Structure 1
Amino acid sequence: MNFLNASNMRGGYGRGADILNGATITVEKGQIGVIVGPNGAGKSTAMKAIFGMLALREGSVLLDGADITALSPQDRVAQGMGFVPQTNNIFTSMTVEENLEMGAFLRKDDIRPTIAQVYDLFPILADKRRQPAGELSGGQRQQVAVGRALMTRPSLLMLDEPTAGVSPIVMDELFDRIIEIARTGITILMVEQNARQALEIADIGYVLVQGANAYTGTGAELMADPEVRRTFLGG
């Protein structure tokens, strides 16, 4: 049984047409899963469906063997999901540390050890813990967003375009931190426009086209596939 098994997902927004057309996304415990594909392929919609922000018309979502298809996003957080949306993912008027504290809103235990772990992962945030998050650079904001999601102590961390708008150097640093997070046993699923770089760190990769699986394989297999390289990776 896959740790995450989102199978045969079909759905769209409101009464509109289906955006997901049978997409299936599975990731094993501690793996890094990456979803890539052209604009409008349904990548972010798939993430929203897995997190419960989009009701599926068909299909199911299982986490560690438990069927969570009918659960709300908040209930999915309680089950072990953490989600970092592409935009509006921090509280800009709050300090870095207040953002992290907000991430632990469901917890009743001592959150200080987890805050310390986040600062170990992202040392710059420790230096800026008293600074309003809105004053940080784009890359630092993304670190706050990921750190806030880690405060829930997720078993599955979902990242929607984590490197959008950041420099190549910051992108490499974020990918290094994502690898570190996965090494702790947390399963990662992310949507990423920088497909080539994301597939380099992916244990499993999915190329979506029009809401359906076009190609599936390890990151290395997809990088080596001539058709994937030509169509989606720029040759």
Structure 2
Amino acid sequence: MAEPFLIGDAMTGGYGGADILHDCTIAVEKGQIAVIVGPNGAGKSTAMKAVFGMLKLRLGAVRLEGEDISALTPQARVAKGMGFVPQTSNIFPSMTVEENLEMGAFIRRDDIAATMEQVYTLFPILRDKRGQAAGELSGGQRQQVAVGRALMTQPKVLMLDEPTAGVSPIVMDELFDRIIEIARTGISILMVEQNARQALEIADKGYVLVQGANRYTDTGAALLADPDVRKSFLGG
């Protein structure tokens, strides 16, 4: 079996105290969408942060394209091709939309104009509001800025922590449509999401975590069809 494009393999660890993750494995293939769902406090965001290097693993490893990157800082992982969009504090509110996107390209030394154009094509509203302070935008528009900024690094993997938190159902559907579009360009998407049913509908792979451990792992469609998963985690 070929190794997944990105894998957090048998991860055990936490933030220095008791372990939050227990032998937890999360992986995503190239150009696919993997979704992490589960109840509050299940360790979903912790698993994502562990893959990105924001907490130290006691056991397990993170590998990207077969290379062990477990010892790398988050900044070094960005240079390797990982983009991360945290749930909160993910934009510079006093800067314009365009300045936010430019900040996203901080590691690049080449011409960023083509990537900027790709972001504006993906999120047309950002082109209209590119001179406006990002903090003045709606919640959904701010999320578009945050995702766009991460895309400016030209990531191979885009990691999204609760991208639809606090937005309306219409905006959520639109964001999910854009996420599918991003994956179609060959970028892998690893996403933590509260809206489990909707997230699994677009997921190639789904992980249901409970208390920091894998409870169910399957395709999104299979998890949606699993009566135990539906009853316990999707409200019937």
TM-score range, shorter chain: over 0.9
1:26 CA drift (Å): 1.2
TM-score calculated relative to the size of structure 2: 0.99
Q: Which amino acid aligns with 2:204?
A: D
- By how many angstroms is 1:21 displaced? 0.5
Q: TM-score, normalised to structure 1's length? A: 0.99
Corresponding residue of 2:13: 11
Q: Which 4+ runs in 1 deviate beyond 6 A?
A: none
Specify the SS of the correspondent of 2:57.
Answer: coil
Q: Deviations over 1:84-124 (max 9, x none)?
A: 00000000000000000000000000001100000000000
Q: CA deviation at 1:208?
A: 0.2
Question: What is residue 160 of structure 2 aligned with on the other side?
Answer: 159
* Matched positions, count: 234
Q: What is the alpha-carbon distance in structure 2 between the residues aligned to residue 108 and residue 129 of structure 1?
A: 22
- Matched residue SS, 2:72: coil
> What's the CA shift for 1:27?
1.0
**3-state SS of 1:46 partner:** helix
SS at match of 1:166: coil
CA distance in structure 2 between the partners assigned to 1:201 and 1:217 by the alignment: 13
What RMSD, in angstroms, separates the aligned Cα atoms of the two structures? 0.4
- Specify the alignment match of 2:51 in structure 1: 50
Query: Match for residue 67 of structure 2?
Result: 66
Helix, strand or coil: the match of 1:57? strand
DSSP-derived class of the 2:11 partner = strand
What is the CA deviation profile of residues 187-231 of structure 1, one whole-angstrom value per residue up to 9, with x for unaligned ones? 000000000000000000000001000000000000000000000
Q: Which amino acid aligns with 1:9?
A: M
User: Partners of 1:126 and 1:228 in 2: how far apart?
Assistant: 41
In structure 2, the residue matched to 1:33 is 34
Query: Could you tell me which residue of structure 1 aligns to residue 151 of structure 2?
Result: 150
Q: Structure 2 matches for 1:102-113, cutoff 5 A?
A: 102-113=103-114
Q: Unpaired segments of 5 or more residues in structure 2?
A: none
Q: Show structure 1 runs of 5+ residues with no match.
A: none
Map Cα deviations across residues 155-182 of structure 1 (whole Å, 9 max, x no partner). 0000000000000000000000000000
How far off is 1:23 after superposition? 0.4
Provide the residue aligned with 1:24 in structure 2: 25
Give 1:171's aligned residue: 172
